[in-house]
Structure 1
Amino acid sequence: MTPRTVEPIREKWIIEKMKTILRSRSYRDYFMFLLGLNTGLRVGDILPLKVGDLRGKRYINIIEEKTNKAKRFPLNREIREYIMDYTMAMSDEEYLFASNMTKEPIQRDRAYKILKYAAEEAGAEYVGTHTMRKTFGYHFYKKYNDASMLQKIFNHSSQSVTLKYIGISQEEIDDAIDDFSL
């Protein structure tokens, strides 16, 4: 049997529970989760960000780690407020998600452990570092029903790739079969 892939968090109450768990442990970890959920960025693009990359900005300009392409990611009003709050006492050169010991960005495996702990406490399954990105995509699609725009946001080659990535294709099949009867 093949291992199950990382999936989006579909239930908003689980997202809220994870936020509460992360906030009670570390505001850094909570903010990392919020930023991932609200931008659709890959964790590899989030971790090396510095305060100056976000503070006072309406969008983030990055070179995507995976594709090596320049990409602009808008920041919604709510996340901009969190950025102001989180970075208030920080300098522009500080990493947003610095290790307490090294002051360098935390590593991907550390981000995974942070998310995995919160997910287990909240009762979420199939969580990994792509969970934030997939969750963003899933809820964006559910709200706007616009696979084309989401495809552009994610830089995917097709809408079918995007829908498969966020788990919509299988969910739609399951729902259709559930309502089908002869």
Structure 2
Amino acid sequence: MVKQTVLPIKDSNVLNEVKDTLLNNFTYGRRNYTVFQVGKATLLRVSDVLHLKYSDVYDNAGNVLKNTYIHDIKTGKANELYLEPVKRDLETYHDWLESEGIESEWLFPSLKKQNAGTDTHINERQFYRIMQKVGDLLGINYLGTHTMRKTGAYKVYEATGHDIALVMDLLNHSSQKMTLKYLGLDRETKERKLRRVNFD
């Protein structure tokens, strides 16, 4: 089986199409869209996004917290999340959960299983299938569960004038090389720097 290459979405029009498809082409579109938005804004791995609990994000009155603290599942490292950039989406999502009568300890419950009387969160395989369907509908072959994390990291990289140290920190990476490769920028960055060299 050929391993799929997942890339960040660099084009804002494509990004808007992906968000629109997540929101409007699924029964639980509001949940799927919010998973993507939270993943993009926090730069968490998909496993960490899907393991978020309702109480990680909302206070007892249902207000969005400014910050939350988790431990990355893969690395065990402590991670402080800044939720302000995704506050509006989380407020809309909270209203949607209430209007649908959905109550769960999980932020992103598996609603099929909840309807069967089990409270668990959506898993990576389910979200992978959602992203694959979006890719099929839009004719994009580089979408996967890491798309949101890579896209968020790329947006930070661009918006901060290529502050690779900040992106490394947000991704919890231990080397610049790893981060550039993760963003698909290792070759692009190398070529851009070489173009500035006068080899005469």
> Is this a same-fold pair by TM over 0.5?
yes
Q: CA 1:51/1:160 → structure 2, altered by over 3 Å: closer, same or farther?
A: same
Q: Which residue of 1 aligns with 2:65?
A: 57
Structure 1: runs of 5+ lacking an equivalent: none
| Structure label with greater radius of gyration | 2
Is the Cα contact below 8 Å between 1:51 and 1:92 reproduced in 2? no
Which of these residues, 134, 147, 155, is aligned with residue 164 of structure 2? 147
Q: Which amino acid aligns with 2:70?
A: I
Q: Which amino acid aligns with 1:45?
A: D
Q: Normalising to structure 1: TM-score of the pair?
A: 0.88
Instruction: After TM superposition, give the deviation of residue 173 of structure 1 in Å.
Output: 3.8
Distance of 1:113 and 1:178 partners within structure 2: 40
Tell me whether 48-57 or 26-35 shows the greater mean CA deviation. Answer: 48-57
Structure 2: runs of 5+ lacking an equivalent: 59-63, 115-119
Which of these residues, 37, 41, 44, is aligned with residue 44 of structure 2? 41
Q: Normalising to structure 2: TM-score of the pair?
A: 0.80
Q: Which residue of 1 aligns with 2:121?
A: 105
- Partner of 1:60, secondary structure, is strand
Residue by residue over 1:22-48, the C-alpha shift from the partner in whole angstroms, topping out at 9 and shown as x without a partner, is 111211111111111111111100112
Is the Cα contact below 8 Å between 1:59 and 1:73 reproduced in 2? yes
Tell me whether 19-28 or 86-95 shows the greater mean CA deviation. Answer: 86-95
Instruction: After TM superposition, give the deviation of residue 91 of structure 1 in Å.
Output: 7.7
Tell me whether 92-101 or 35-44 shows the greater mean CA deviation. Answer: 92-101
Which of these residues, 177, 181, 189, is aligned with residue 164 of structure 1? 181
Q: Which amino acid aligns with 2:109?
A: A
Q: Which residue of 1 aligns with 2:10?
A: 10
- Identical pairs, percent: 32
Q: CA 1:19/1:100 → structure 2, altered by over 3 Å: closer, same or farther?
A: same
- Partner of 1:41, secondary structure, is coil
Is the Cα contact below 8 Å between 1:47 and 1:105 reproduced in 2? yes
Q: Does residue 142 of structure 2 align to residue 135 of structure 1?
A: no
Measured on the aligned residues, the alpha-carbon RMSD in Å equals 2.5
Q: Which residue of 2 aligns with 1:30?
A: 33
Distance of 1:131 and 1:92 partners within structure 2: 28
Q: Which amino acid aligns with 1:112?
A: Y
Instruction: After TM superposition, give the deviation of residue 58 of structure 1 in Å.
Output: 1.0
The list of structure 1 runs, each at least 4 consecutive aligned residues, that deviate by more than 4 angstroms after superposition, is: 90-93, 174-182
Distance of 1:40 and 1:30 partners within structure 2: 15
Instruction: After TM superposition, give the deviation of residue 148 of structure 1 in Å.
Output: 0.5
